[in-house]
Chain A
Amino acid sequence: MKNLLILLSAAALLILSSCKDSTPTPTPVVVDQLKISIQPTFGPMNLNLDQTYVTAEGYNLQYTDIRFYVTSLSYNSKELCQAALFDYRENGTSFITQPGKPADFPSLNGFFGVDLAYNHDDPTVWPTTSPLNIIVANDMHWDWNPGYIFLKVEAKVDTLNDGVDNFNHYVVFHVGGDNLLQSVELSGYNWSQVSQGVFQLPLKLDMQKFLQNGAQTIDVKSEHSSHSMVGEEELSSKVIQNLKDALSPL
């Protein structure tokens, strides 16, 4: 009887252990993350949409939309990000979050705008998380040709310096087209560790410099609209160059 009990116990142990879920708990793989943020400013001040700033010409101006694409961002042949869309109203200062190691990206090169390699692709075939997917791109896509809108800057301006708020002058810059694609280079920065395995590169986008870029100024009273159409080449080019130049390490 004693032997039988031992036998039964051993059998029960064997059966129970054979039926239980034996999947081993995987050891989590820690992957470093690189985050790039962009803080829009107006000169030394952090910029908020719908808030009033004064231009060099003395106009009261409220930015209402700031969006742009950066694509093929890489160091040498190592790509950090295929495409990123900065959308201040929707996503705040958040720009890029990708797996990677800081040492692999001591500087970054890419395009301000959408790389020719993608600009005329079918916008429906990108993964649903890609900024180039038509649902994510939303109104940042005109058509297969000319392709994506590289940048949107919209603002309301009160051009009358009469002490009465009347923001009835609209600024609409929608710039794109292969010939306006700009190379962009970011260097002279340091990734800073913000938490375990997370490294951040904070950038700033100076929207005062966007209007006053050295000799290349934009007077929003007379230069207030561009859709990159024929006849708008000069302003379109100035807009995208100025916005690119407004971007720098914080």
Chain B
Amino acid sequence: MQTVRIFGLLVTILSLLSSCTEVRAWERGYLAKDEMAWESDSLESALNDHIFFSKEASSGGNSAAGGGCGCN
């Protein structure tokens, strides 16, 4: 339930945000750059996630989880 509430709040905040933004097609050049991607190097991110997953108790991020491993 808590999750639903947090997410509901998020949607509200973001829709407020978006109502005051207008970034036109020709203004999105910087956002489209490789280094602005949520994940700019997928192998690097996968490796880091794997290492942190095996050395720390926490997991979960902005994508779905993969399979488990004997390392944890």
Instruction: Report whether chain A binds chain B.
Output: no
Chain A contact residues, CB within 8 Å of chain B: none
